[in-house]
Structures are given as structure tokens and as C-alpha cells.
Amino acid sequence: MTENDGNSRLSGRVALVTGGARRVGAAIVRGLHSAGASVLVHYRASHAEAIALTRELNDLRPGSAQCLSGDLLDPDLPGSLIEAALERFGALDVLVNNASSFYPTPVGRITAAAWDDLLGTNLKAPLFLSQAAAPALRARRGSIVNIVDIHGLRPLRGHPVYSAAKAGLAMLTRSLARELGPEVRVNGIAPGPVLWPEHGLDESLKREIVDKTALGRHGRPEDIAATALFLVRDAPFVTGQIIAVDGGRSL
């Protein structure tokens, strides 16, 4: 997606995307920016990628992007991110809770640290970021998009803690839609096989997953970005919904 694609109906709007420096997060950032939004790109460790992405976007439209690092497990981070968005751009219209920890936790080897990390990044941080952002979003009749997972409804073997965290995020999405309406819309996206995990998957397992996907292929980060843009820009009467973008994997 390039800066000239589509229209610019998000011109003058401001979006904060957590975990926005790479992979799906970067695709969402580019999609919102292409539609005219200014973006605050949160990252934790991907410093080089965040700097490169914001430079790319500012080259397209000067002053339209900024990056900020922070650990989502830091209880002070939600307030700091919202303050940074307001200080830099003067408003906040969109919050995309994308950042996520993901790794296996087989029963018998689950630790308290893994529980705190997986629940913290996938559920606690989205809650407190949404709470911190709510006044600014209400003032602009904005929206929240939570990146859930099809495994929040259909558990992934060997990942009970992650699956439980995403199930909680699915319910949080619906709860916040009720709590923050009518001013703020809250929706979720549940990706399926879009990007393979960075720790790698056996090729036979990849083929098995694709074979069980109705469209017979895996998706792209841009598929998630397009859905996020739809929810933010083109769905003013949609709230409390979770859209599976999984090629039919969950059928």
C-alpha cells in the first residue's frame, strides 16, 4: 500500500499502534498513514525498525510519524503513550492494541513469569491503554481495534496461557464496546495463518495448517491492515465485533 492508495479520509486523525515497528503492526501503521492519519509507533526492542519506519513515513509526509519505546508491562506506560500522542499531535482518534507476546507454555512447564508476561501484554496492557486513551477518544468519537487471535476462541495446543489471554481480550473488546459507547467504537480482528511464528514451524506443520484453511493459503500482514482500516474508517455503525481474518481456518 502506498501513500497515494485510496482516499485520505483519515487526514487530520491520529493513531497509536502498539508493536507497530514490524510485522503486522508495521502493515497497520502503513495502512492508516496511507489513508491520511498521523501515527505514533510504539515499540519495545525493535529500535532500528521503528526508526526506519518513521523515517519512511515522514519522508512521504513530513511530521506525520513518531516512534516511542516502552515495555507494556510497565504500569506507567499507558499514560505515557497517551500523553506522548497528545503532546506530539494534539489529539488521539485511534488506538490499535497490536503488541503481543507469543510462545508455548505446555502444561507442567507453565511459570508465573510466563503467565504475567502473556496476560500482561495480551490482556492487561490493552485494558489499561484503552482506559488511559478513553477521554481523548471520547472527545474525538474515536475507535479502538484490538488484535485478538482465532485461538482466543479455538485453543492452540501447547499454548494454554496465550489462548486464555486472547480469549480475555475478545471479551474485553465486547465489554469496552458497551462501556465506551456511544462515543467510542471498539472492535477486534482475529488473525489466522498470516505470518508464521518467528521461532519457526516445521514445514509439515505449515502444510497441514494451509491444507485445513478453506482458501488453501496463508494470508499477508496487509490483510490485517486492510481490515483495521475498514473498522477505523468505513464502519461507523460497527462496534463490539471481532472479525476473523483467517482464510477460513476457523471453519
**Using one digit for the tens of pLDDT, what is the confidence trace for 101-124?**
999 999 999 999 999 999 999 999
The amino acid occupying position 190 is: A
Q: Are 173 and 186 in contact (CB under 8 A)?
A: yes
* CA pair distance 116, 203, nearest whole angstrom: 31
Neighbouring CB atoms inside 10 A of 14's CB total: 24
Structural element, H or E, at residue 205: helix 203-211
**46 burial level (CB within 10 Å; 0-12, 13-18, 19+):** buried
Please report how the helices 160-180 and 125-140 are oriented relative to each other, as an axis angle in degrees rounded to 10. 20
* CA pair distance 216, 115, nearest whole angstrom: 34
Q: Are 188 and 230 in contact (CB under 8 A)?
A: no
**Using one digit for the tens of pLDDT, what is the confidence trace for 11-46?**
999 999 999 999 999 999 999 999 999 999 999 999
- Domain 14-245 class, CATH top level: alpha beta
Full-model pTM: 0.93
**Active site residues per annotation:** 162
* CA pair distance 180, 60, nearest whole angstrom: 34
192 falls in which pLDDT band (50, 70, 90)? confident
Query: What SS3 class is residue 40?
Result: strand
**Using one digit for the tens of pLDDT, what is the confidence trace for 146-168?**
999 999 999 988 999 999 999 99
Percent of the chain with pLDDT over 90: 81
End-to-end CA distance of the chain: 29
Return the C-alpha cell found at 142: 474515536
Q: Are 88 and 60 in contact (CB under 8 A)?
A: no
